[in-house]
């Protein structure tokens, strides 16, 4: 039943809105009722980074109110969300705001309110097994010229490059650096080569949750049959998918590579022969930090590099500013002047560091673009690349 009334959640208290019972039921089902505890304090709107960049930023509180009431959301605001969870850190009612955004995206697909350019991403995922339109035959190209063994049931570690580090030229260097470190540390590791499946992050972030379930089911069966126990990912997005969106299985342990490198350092399998003097600042990727509380492992790895001096940015760990590349935003347009990474790059440059280090291919892409605008000469580098340089005792540049 549709009713017309007024809502204090609208910009004007007198503006009429349509309450749709059927839509309300769909939203409640899609969010599993998670929206109910919201009491409209507005802290989420105040803590969302969009407020730092737009004159009229996304009104997160209003989105939550509309969802509670069953008011159609056709202005596309749920697509702005980078799923960074900065708002959730502050929400006094523990509302899983980013998950609500994704549930609203799921409904938007059903109702045909989807930004241009996202359907091809999903078709690429369906036909090619990755969101980057990369041919499946080129998935293992990142390892060309390296002698990386195929994973077998007797291999200890599956090195999982993921779609971005497989197909994006810049990010391929991260996968290569990791494989080189594993070789130097004499880790028993292998990859699935061209047969490596997508973790499903794009389907998750774009709200294609039914399709995600199919990916998860196929991956679970695949890894079980292959005898995968320890799976080390290059990207925090893949780590988040395997840890939180694939069913737990006895003996199966997904790790982000910074966790694994920290473990190798503690065991003495990875060490540095000489000083590598460099001033660094570290950017916490949202999918590693806020989503999974992995703040110490990357810092532990950096602290093990002799001669490295780490200066923290004012906003770090749980307060870190998002780079803007999560939540499927890599596949959506962001206007010049509205990039979170521009603010983050400025903050990084102000530390006086030589390098801005991070541990996520999406962060690398966003921050590298923004650092170029600063003329600071600062390099953006992944933790894995920095470790590889320190092990070799020489910069790649
Ligand atoms: S911070 Fe939480 S309780 Fe407050 S408006 Fe946002 S979602 Fe609702
Ligand atoms: S998850 Fe991040 S981008 Fe999305 S509403 Fe919350 S603070 Fe804003």
Predicted confidence (pLDDT) per residue in 288-306, tens digit: 999 999 999 999 999 999 9
DSSP string, 42-93: -HHHHH-GGGGT-SS---HHHHHHHHHHTB---S-GGGT-----HHHHH-TT
Contact 109, 208 (CB under 8 A): yes
Tell me the C-alpha distance between 270 and 185, whole Å: 5
Q: Whose CA is nearest to atom 3 of ligand 1?
A: 38
The reply to whether ligand 1 has any atom less than 6 angstroms from the CB of 44 is: yes
pLDDT at 99: 96
CA atoms within 13 A on the CB side of 9: 25
Do 130 and 254 fall into the same domain?
yes
Q: Which pair of tokens denotes residue 171?
A: 């990010």
Do 7 and 91 fall into the same domain?
yes
Q: Tell me the pLDDT band of 14, cut-offs 50, 70 and 90.
A: low
Residues 6+ apart with CB under 8 A from 267: none
Do 234 and 296 fall into the same domain?
no
The reply to whether ligand 1 has any atom less than 6 angstroms from the CB of 140 is: no
Do 38 and 64 fall into the same domain?
yes
Domain boundary among 95, 111, 127: 111
Residue 335 falls inside a structural domain: yes
3-state secondary structure of 17: strand
The reply to whether ligand 1 has any atom less than 6 angstroms from the CB of 47 is: no
Residue 86 falls inside a structural domain: yes
- Structural domains counted in the chain: 3
Residues 6+ apart with CB under 8 A from 5: 16, 17, 19
Which of 69-73, 142-146, 284-288, 331-335 is predicted least confidently? 69-73
| CATH number of the domain where residue 352 is located | 3.40.50
pTM reported for the whole predicted model: 0.95
Q: Tell me the pLDDT band of 71, cut-offs 50, 70 and 90.
A: confident
Do 184 and 99 fall into the same domain?
no
Q: Which pair of tokens denotes residue 383?
A: 């933790």
Q: Summarize the confidence of residues 137-163 as an average pLDDT.
A: 98
3-state secondary structure of 226: helix
From the alpha carbon of 88, which atom of ligand 2 is closest?
6
| Burial of 14 per CB tally in 10 Å (0-12, 13-18, 19+) | exposed
Q: Tell me the pLDDT band of 17, cut-offs 50, 70 and 90.
A: confident
Do 171 and 57 fall into the same domain?
no
Ligand 2 surroundings by CB, under 6 angstroms = 47-48, 50, 60, 81-87, 97-98, 101
Do 87 and 132 fall into the same domain?
no
Residue 282 falls inside a structural domain: yes
Residue 160 falls inside a structural domain: yes
Please, what is the average pLDDT of the chain? 94
Q: Tell me the pLDDT band of 397, cut-offs 50, 70 and 90.
A: low
Residue 397 falls inside a structural domain: no
Q: Which domain holds residue 156?
A: 118-264
Q: In angstroms, how far is CA 34 from the centroid of its own chain?
A: 22
Do 355 and 286 fall into the same domain?
yes
State phi, psi for 210 to the nearest 5 degrees.
-65, -40
Contact 183, 149 (CB under 8 A): no
Domain boundary among 232, 264, 296: 264
- Closest by alpha carbon to 254, among 384, 353, 158? 158
The pLDDT tens digits of the residues spanning 173-211 come to: 999 999 999 999 999 999 999 999 999 999 999 999 999
Do 7 and 54 fall into the same domain?
yes
Q: Centre a 10 Å sphere on the Cβ of residue 79 and count the other Cβ atoms it contains.
A: 21
Q: Whose CA is nearest to atom 8 of ligand 1?
A: 38
Which of 15-24, 81-90, 116-125, 321-330 is predicted least confidently? 15-24
The reply to whether ligand 1 has any atom less than 6 angstroms from the CB of 36 is: no
Per the model's pLDDT, the better-predicted residue between 126 and 337 turns out to be 126
pLDDT at 58: 84
Do 300 and 320 fall into the same domain?
yes
Contact 215, 198 (CB under 8 A): yes
Q: Summarize the confidence of residues 303-311 as an average pLDDT.
A: 98
Q: Tell me the pLDDT band of 72, cut-offs 50, 70 and 90.
A: confident
Do 260 and 278 fall into the same domain?
no
Residue 129 falls inside a structural domain: yes
Q: Tell me the pLDDT band of 20, cut-offs 50, 70 and 90.
A: confident
Residue 183 falls inside a structural domain: yes
Q: How many residues does the chain have?
A: 397
pLDDT at 10: 42
pLDDT at 343: 97
Residue 138 falls inside a structural domain: yes
The reply to whether ligand 1 has any atom less than 6 angstroms from the CB of 170 is: no
- pLDDT over 60 (residue 11): no
Tell me the C-alpha distance between 374 and 385, whole Å: 22
In the chain, what percentage of residues exceed pLDDT 70? 96
Tell me the C-alpha distance between 359 and 343, whole Å: 18
- pLDDT over 60 (residue 88): yes
């Amino acid at each position: 039943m549709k009713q017309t009334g007024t809502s204090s959640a609208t910009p004007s208290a007198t503006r009429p809105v349509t309450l749709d019972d059927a839509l309300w039921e769909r939203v409640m089902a899609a969010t599993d009722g998670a929206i109910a505890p919201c009491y409209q304090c507005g802290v989420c709107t105040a803590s969302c980074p969009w407020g730092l960049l737009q004159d009229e930023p996304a009104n997160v509180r209003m989105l939550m109110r509309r969802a509670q009431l069953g008011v159609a959301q056709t202005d596309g605001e749920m697509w702005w969300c980078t799923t960074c969870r900065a708002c959730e850190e502050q929400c006094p009612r523990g509302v899983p705001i980013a998950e609500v955004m994704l549930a609203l995206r799921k409904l938007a697909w059903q109702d045909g309110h989807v930004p241009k350019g996202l359907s091809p991403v999903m078709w690429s995922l369906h036909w090619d097994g990755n969101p980057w339109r990369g041919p499946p035959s080129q998935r293992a190209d990142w390892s060309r010229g390296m002698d990386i063994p195929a994973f077998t049931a007797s291999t200890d570690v599956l090195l999982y490059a993921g779609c971005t580090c497989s197909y994006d030229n810049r990010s391929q260097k991260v996968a290569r650096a990791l494989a080189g470190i594993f070789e130097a540390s004499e880790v028993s590791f292998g990859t699935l080569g061209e047969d490596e499946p997508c973790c499903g992050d794009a389907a998750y972030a774009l709200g294609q949750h039914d399709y995600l379930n199919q990916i998860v089911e196929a991956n679970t069966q695949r890894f079980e049959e292959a005898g995968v126990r320890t799976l080390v990912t290059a990207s925090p997005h893949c780590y988040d998918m395997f840890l939180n969106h694939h069913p737990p299985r006895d003996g199966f342990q997904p790790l982000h590579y910074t966790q694994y490198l920290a473990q190798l350092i503690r065991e003495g399998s990875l060490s540095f022969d000489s000083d590598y003097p460099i001033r660094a600042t570290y950017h916490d990727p949202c999918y590693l930090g806020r989503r999974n509380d992995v703040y110490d492992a990357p810092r532990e790895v950096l602290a093990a590099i002799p001669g490295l001096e780490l200066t923290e940015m004012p906003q770090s760990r749980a307060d870190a500013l998002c780079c803007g590349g999560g939540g499927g935003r890599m596949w959506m347009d962001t206007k010049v002047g509205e990039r979170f990474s521009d603010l983050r790059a400025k903050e990084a440059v102000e530390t006086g560091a030589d390098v801005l280090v991070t541990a996520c291919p999406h962060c690398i892409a966003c921050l590298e673009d923004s650092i170029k605008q600063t003329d600071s000469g600062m390099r953006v580098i992944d933790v894995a690349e920095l470790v590889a340089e320190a092990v070799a005792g020489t910069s790649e540049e």
